[in-house]
């Protein structure tokens, strides 16, 4: 459980890069001889221009980094204070679940649409398509991040059961 979030952070960050690339692809369509790096930068700028923290290009990777740090700290706390394992793991699971819900609710289609229309020269139809592609990509990346965090929370619950069983086994053996 503790390594799951860490392993998934790079996958989710890669998912964000994919979202940005797909946004670029939606803007470029079938055009040739276009500087796609410039367009990728434009998609990143569009998202950054929303001033919505959850739409910033680095949001998901930062959230996963923070989740990984929480899991690491909980692991350290478990090593130094095993008597409070239930409280430590319960608090961690609650925090991760809250983070997963926030990620799931992060994409704001209206903010993306406004940023696309005000920061590009796209026609209304092209802007709508670009908005859909960016939004859908963000949703997919958010769902992946949310799944990773939920899997970590499930692992924490399983770890708590194993700890409880180990404590019970030690008590029985001591008697």
Q: Per residue in 13-59, pLDDT tens? A: 454 445 444 544 444 443 444 455 665 677 777 777 777 777 777 88
* Stated pTM of the model: 0.58
Q: Per residue in 115-171, pLDDT tens? A: 888 877 888 888 888 888 888 887 887 777 777 777 877 777 777 777 778 778 888
Could you write out the three-class secondary structure of the chain? CHHHHHHHHHHHHHHHHHHHHHHHHHHHCCCCCCCHHHHHHHHHHHHHHCCCHHHCCCHHHHHHHHHHHHHHHHHHHHHHCHHHHHHHHHHHHHHHHHHHHHHHCCCCHHHHHHHHHHHCCCCHHHHHHHHHHHHHHHHHHHHHHHHHHHHHHHHHHHHHHHHHHHHHHHHHHHC
Q: Per residue in 60-86, pLDDT tens? A: 788 888 888 888 888 788 778 878 888
């Amino acid at each position: 459980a503790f390594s799951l979030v860490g392993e998934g952070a790079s996958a989710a960050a890669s998912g964000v890069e994919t979202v940005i690339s797909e946004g670029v692809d939606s803007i470029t369509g079938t055009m040739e001889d276009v500087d796609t790096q410039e367009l990728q930068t434009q998609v990143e700028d569009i998202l950054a221009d929303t001033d919505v923290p959850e739409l910033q290009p680095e949001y998901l990777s930062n959230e996963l980094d923070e989740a990984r740090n929480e899991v690491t700290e909980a692991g350290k706390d478990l090593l130094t204070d095993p008597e409070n394992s239930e409280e430590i793991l319960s608090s961690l699971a609650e925090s991760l679940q809250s983070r997963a819900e926030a990620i799931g609710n992060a994409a704001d289609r209206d903010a993306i649409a406004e940023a696309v229309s005000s920061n590009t020269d796209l026609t209304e139809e092209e802007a709508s398509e670009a908005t859909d592609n960016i939004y859908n990509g963000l949703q997919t990346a958010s769902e992946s991040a949310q799944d990773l965090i939920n899997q970590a929370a499930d692992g924490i619950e399983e770890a708590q059961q194993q700890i409880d069983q180990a404590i019970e086994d030690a008590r029985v053996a001591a008697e």
